[in-house]
Structure formats: C-alpha cells, structure tokens
Amino acid sequence: MSQESILLIMGGAFIILGLVAMVWGKVEQRSYDASLSTRRDLREFLDHWPPRIEAKALIIGGWISIVVGVALMAMSAWFLIRG
C-alpha cells in the first residue's frame, strides 16, 4: 500500500470521525435542552446559563477533525499528482 493511499484513508477516517462527533454533540445538546424544558424552573433553559461546554467541545472537535482530514486528503492528492 502506497503512502498516498494511506493518507487518503486516514483523511477519510478523520472526516468521518469529525462528522460523527458533530452529530453526537448536536444530539447531546438537543437532549439536554429537551430535558430542561420539562422542568418547572426554566431559567437555565432560557438563559443557557451556566453554559454546558461538553456538547460544544464535541462540535468544535468535529470541525478540527474535518479540517485535519481535508488536509490529509489534499496532501494525498498532491503526492499523487507529483507522482
């Protein structure tokens, strides 16, 4: 297996992991907001205070993973073109 194909596979894996992390973060945030909306005290739901950083961290990590995956795929394409 050549270096280009390894980089291409790694890039695709990073992109898939990034998308999974972003979806997971959004689902976690929605479920947290839905659980808050059933409570009597809605201050935390309306004000979003205190902020819950776990879901945001998953989304940010997903974006970082996607950027790394795109960079790896671009490097793979560059090496394939250069020959």
Tens of pLDDT, residues 25-71: 999 888 877 776 666 666 666 766 667 778 889 889 999 999 999 99
Count how many domains the chain has: 1
pLDDT of 10 strictly over 80 = yes
**Mean pLDDT (whole number) for 64-82:** 93
**Domain containing residue 67:** 3-82
Residue 39: the pLDDT is: 65
Give the amino acid at 69. G
Residue 29: the pLDDT is: 85
What phi, psi does 70 have (nearest 5°)? Answer: -65, -40
Q: How far apart, in whole angstroms, are the C-alpha atoms of residue 17 and residue 9?
A: 12
pLDDT of 16 strictly over 90 = yes
Q: What would the DSSP string read from start to end of the chain?
A: --HHHHHHHHHHHHHHHHHHHHHHHHHHHHHHHHHHHTSS--HHHHH--S--HHHHHHHHHHHHHHHHHHHHHHHHHHHHHH-
